[in-house]
């Protein structure tokens, strides 16, 4: 699974190569009803069936549906009985991201390097095989109960991983144009941002590419700090947020309260045509955060000329920002589970390699309006 390569600023040279990562292999969510979640991700987001594991494949404690859209693979897993680690994870955190799997050339070496550099063990290098070949996987903890699993799959030709069978139901909603994971953001506790940035630097050889402080990202009420870590080839970017002091509760604290600890806040997925994608997602029931209409009266003064007409951007609520290398279009969904925790970002990059700093203020004010409605501000 290779992600699309962006034009990378020089800073990526500072990332180190002891941990070659080929891309995001899959993202696994622990959810309370994998069958219904699979239906939702197919219907609303346009994912397609790929693979299945559960009772019919000899797995007795869990059921997993694997869905794919272009280069993005989601695994949706639920327990089949009480008292499992998966069930406990769901009870504590609600539906959320458990695994961010990284595609590596050598999962044993990746594990050894990471452990040697201070990572907390999750899974020893383990070989699994079926009639389609062999994989090796290993795993380490990152923030909270979230883990990275290293997947070595060069000797495997099956549909996903050993133990999974091809899944192909009659229900095939069309794609919405989502192409690859652009970045995945983690929320960590106050004072812990540097701990986790250093973890990605020391353990996985990442380099810091962007930093925002509370002066960049604050409104009257809420503030946060954020740093973006990237691996050497720029295919994997993990921004890390921590709350900063504000007059009222920050959106990061709200997340930490409801997730009951650190975890993945949002998954940003790229499209080549954000207007078409967001129009489709909206028609399929995905709800997005909206900024006030006045945003569109000022946006062109801020970002200069863009290829798109402003009318559909305004109609759909798509945001625009520019950096030295170009511009980007982005929009954020509302949380996609009962707790105000995980959400998605849809992003189209037109040269820009940044993350939409110019939109933060308008966006956070929109989030605060939602928090107000939830009574959690």
Q: Footprint of Fe ion on residues 312-351 (CB under 5 A)?
A: 345
Q: Which is nearer to Fe ion, 138 or 222 (CB)?
A: 222
Instruction: Kindly state the smallest distance separating residue 112's Cβ from Fe ion, in Å.
Output: 32
Q: Which is nearer to Fe ion, 268 or 336 (CB)?
A: 268
What is the CB neighbour count within 10 angstroms for residue 208? 17
Alpha helices, DSSP H only, in the chain? Answer: 34-45, 85-93, 107-116, 193-202, 251-259, 274-283, 295-303, 310-316, 360-374
DSSP letter string over 22-73?
Answer: -EEEEEEEE-S-HHHHHHHHHHHH--EEEEEESGGGT--SEEEEEEEETTEE
Q: Which is nearer to Fe ion, 167 or 344 (CB)?
A: 344
Instruction: Kindly state the smallest distance separating residue 264's Cβ from Fe ion, in Å.
Output: 11
Q: Which is nearer to Fe ion, 66 or 318 (CB)?
A: 318
CA-atom Rg of the chain in angstroms: 20
Instruction: Kindly state the smallest distance separating residue 56's Cβ from Fe ion, in Å.
Output: 37
Q: Rounded to an integer, what is the distance from CA 54 to the centroid of its chain?
A: 25
Q: Which is nearer to Fe ion, 181 or 299 (CB)?
A: 181
Identify the three-state secondary structure at position 259.
helix
Instruction: Kindly state the smallest distance separating residue 269's Cβ from Fe ion, in Å.
Output: 10
Q: Footprint of Fe ion on residues 85-144 (CB under 5 A)?
A: none
Instruction: Kindly state the smallest distance separating residue 183's Cβ from Fe ion, in Å.
Output: 6
DSSP letter string over 160-219?
Answer: SSTT-EE---S--PPP--EEEEEEEEEE--TT-HHHHHHHHHHTT--EEEEEE-TTTSB-
Q: Of 49-57, 262-270, 303-311, 317-325, which part binds Fe ion (CB under 5 A)?
A: 262-270
Question: What would the x/- binding string for Fe ion be over residues 264 to 293, using CB under 5 A?
Answer: ----x-------------------------
Instruction: Kindly state the smallest distance separating residue 301's Cβ from Fe ion, in Å.
Output: 24
Query: Which residues lie near Fe ion (CB under 5 A)?
Result: 268, 345
């Amino acid at each position: 699974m290779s992600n699309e390569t962006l034009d990378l600023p020089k800073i990526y040279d500072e990332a180190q190569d002891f941990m070659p990562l080929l891309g995001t292999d899959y993202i696994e969510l622990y959810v309370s009803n994998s069958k219904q979640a699979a239906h939702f991700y197919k219907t609303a987001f346009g994912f397609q069936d790929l693979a299945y594991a559960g009772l019919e494949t000899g797995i007795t404690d869990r059921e997993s549906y694997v869905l794919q859209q272009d280069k993005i693979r989601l695994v949706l897993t639920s327990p089949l009985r009480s008292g499992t680690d998966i069930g406990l994870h769901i009870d504590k955190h609600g539906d959320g991201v458990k695994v961010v799997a990284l595609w590596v050339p050598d999962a044993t070496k990746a594990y050894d390097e990471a452990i040697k550099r201070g990572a907390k063990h999750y899974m020893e290098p383990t070989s699994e095989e079926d009639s389609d070949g062999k994989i090796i996987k290993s795993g380490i903890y990152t923030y909270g109960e979230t883990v990275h699993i290293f997947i070595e799959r060069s000797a495997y030709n099956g549909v996903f991983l050993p133990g999974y069978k091809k899944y192909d139901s009659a229900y095939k909603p069309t794609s919405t144009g989502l192409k690859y994971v652009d970045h995945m953001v983690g929320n960590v506790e106050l004072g812990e941002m540097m701990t986790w940035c250093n973890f990605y630097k020391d353990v996985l050889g990442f380099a810091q590419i962007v930093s925002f402080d509370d002066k960049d990202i604050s409104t009257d009420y809420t503030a946060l700090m954020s740093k973006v870590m990237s691996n050497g080839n720029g295919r994997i970017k993990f921004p890390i947020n921590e709350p900063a002091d504000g007059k009222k509760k920050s959106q990061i604290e709200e997340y930490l309260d409801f997730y009951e600890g650190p975890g993945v806040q949002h998954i940003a997925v790229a499209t080549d045509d954000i207007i078409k994608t967001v129009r489709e997602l909206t028609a399929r029931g995905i709800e997005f955060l909206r900024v006030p209409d006045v945003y569109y009266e000022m946006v062109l003064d801020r970002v200069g000329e863009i290829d798109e007409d402003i009318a559909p951007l305004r109609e759909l609520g798509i945001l625009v920002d520019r950096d030295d290398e170009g511009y980007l279009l982005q929009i954020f969904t509302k949380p996609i589970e009962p707790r105000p925790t995980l959400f998605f970002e849809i992003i189209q990059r037109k040269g820009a390699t940044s993350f939409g700093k110019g939109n933060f203020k308008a966006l956070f004010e929109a989030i605060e309006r939602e928090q107000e409605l939830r009574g959690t501000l």
